[in-house]
Amino acid sequence: MKQWYFIHTYSGHENKVVESLNARIRDLELAELITGVLLPKEKVVELRGNKEVVSERMFYPGYVLVEIECDDSGKIPDNVFHAIKSTPKVTGFLGGRQPTPLSQAEVDQIVHNIEVATEKPKPKFTYQVGEVVRIKSGPFASFTGKVEEVNEDKALLKVSITIFGRSTPYELSFLEVEKVTFAEED
């Protein structure tokens, strides 16, 4: 029976772990026992110097998913357990020596999230009503305002900015603003 497990890696080394695991599977001829290696990522977009930049972000930083053919009792074969655990930059299975497999519902949700993420890159940052943001481009560049509405689907914000002493709502994309930290406001 095939089961999916999370393995914990050094943060920032997830891609290298996937490469190393795939090489070990090939070299140790474990392809029938380790049937999948998955690194869930999503594409995110941000504005840098008036240019949209698309990058990738891990759904689960520090973790990689592996699909393992377990024995009839649901136990991971020892040779597979040790091959994975001894992979460079792997600290172990989530759950230790007796890792708990993911449920089918959890696996389905992860796969669904990956599919949705590949269809349309989402903004790198999310915003909430009441947050203070600085406008990065356009006629009101460098103005700050308070977020009044958030439209996640369209990646749009309605921001209230003060112009000539009057509060004015202004619609902006997520890419046209940046969060203001409290230290910047002082």
Q: Would you say residue 37 has pLDDT above 90?
A: yes
33 residue type, one letter: L
CB proximity list for 130: less than 8 A, separation 6 or greater = 146, 147
Is pLDDT at 93 greater than 70 in this prediction?
Answer: yes
Q: Once rounded to an integer, what is the mean pLDDT over residues 142-171?
A: 85
SS3 label, residue 24: helix
Residue 21 amino acid letter:
L
Contact by Cβ (8 Å): 4, 93: no
Give pLDDT tens digits for 42-54: 877 776 666 777 7
Global pTM reads 0.65
Q: pLDDT tens-digit profile of 10-25?
A: 989 999 999 999 999 9
Q: Domains in the chain, start-ordered, CATH in brackets? A: 2-123 (3.30.70.940), 132-185 (2.30.30.30)
Give residue 186's pLDDT.
45
Backbone angles phi, psi at 161, to 5 degrees: -115, 155
Q: Is 29 left (phi over 0), alpha (psi -120 to 50) or beta?
A: left
